[in-house]
Amino acid sequence: MSSVPENLQHLLHPIADLHPDPANARVHNQKNLDAIKSSLAQFGQVKPIVARKETNVVIAGNGTMEAAVELGWSEIAVVFVAMSMSEATAFAIADNRTSELGDWDKDTLSSLVESLGDEKDLMLSMGFTRVELDNLMSEHEEENDDGSSQLGDGLVYQVVVTAKDEGHQMELLGRLQAEGLECRALIS
């Protein structure tokens, strides 16, 4: 069973006929999958995944498909495209990379969360933690020319930590954020 709006119903395809991309460079940790599952449970699938017509290999939306499987869905909305293997690889990389290049406008995000009023708990099911929401609502962040942050008129100290892998980095970020510290992941 899936939750797909009427205008995407014609795109429903059995998940069992699809194949995750074995060369997918984007990994989906459990926190990410839980956020995708929460979004699917709350809103349904409102945008289709993309698969190669020739192979049924998913080139965009592997995390969505994995989350749908964990939710027990048997069908998912798919757009099939005719692409060469090289084009599909390039598209898959571009799809993942372009999404991570964006930044949050914290003032706008804060205003949007505030506008949800009693419904701001919806954000908790979209990958935000309670601490992140509380910090977002209480901080008035100013961005300096060098990219460092300053809260109010106080000093800010920055620490660079090298993690052994992405999972370890996410664990460290989570622990620091739980302490109420502002953190951001940098890859060098």
The answer, yes or no, to whether residue 66 has pLDDT greater than 50, is yes
| 60 membership: H or E segment, kind and range | strand 58-60
> pLDDT tens-digit profile of 177-186?
777 777 776 6
Q: What is the mean pLDDT of residues 148-158?
A: 51
Amino acid at 185: A
Strands 75-81 and 49-52: parallel
Most confident of 17-21, 95-99, 103-107, 124-128: 17-21
pLDDT at 42: 87
pLDDT at 14: 97
Question: Maximum CA pair distance of the chain?
Answer: 58
Q: Which residues contact 64 (CB under 8 A, 6 or more apart)?
A: 36, 40, 45, 49, 76
Set out the domains of the chain in order of their start, with CATH numbers. Answer: 6-100 (3.90.1530.10), 106-178 (no CATH)
The answer, yes or no, to whether residue 157 has pLDDT greater than 60, is no
> pLDDT tens-digit profile of 5-50?
899 999 999 999 999 999 888 889 998 899 899 889 988 999 999 9
The answer, yes or no, to whether residue 143 has pLDDT greater than 60, is no
Q: Rounded CA gap, 178 and 172, in Å?
A: 10
pTM: 0.69
What does each C-alpha distance from 81 to 44, 55, 94, 157 come to in angstroms? Answer: 23, 10, 16, 49
Q: Rounded CA gap, 102 and 99, in Å?
A: 6
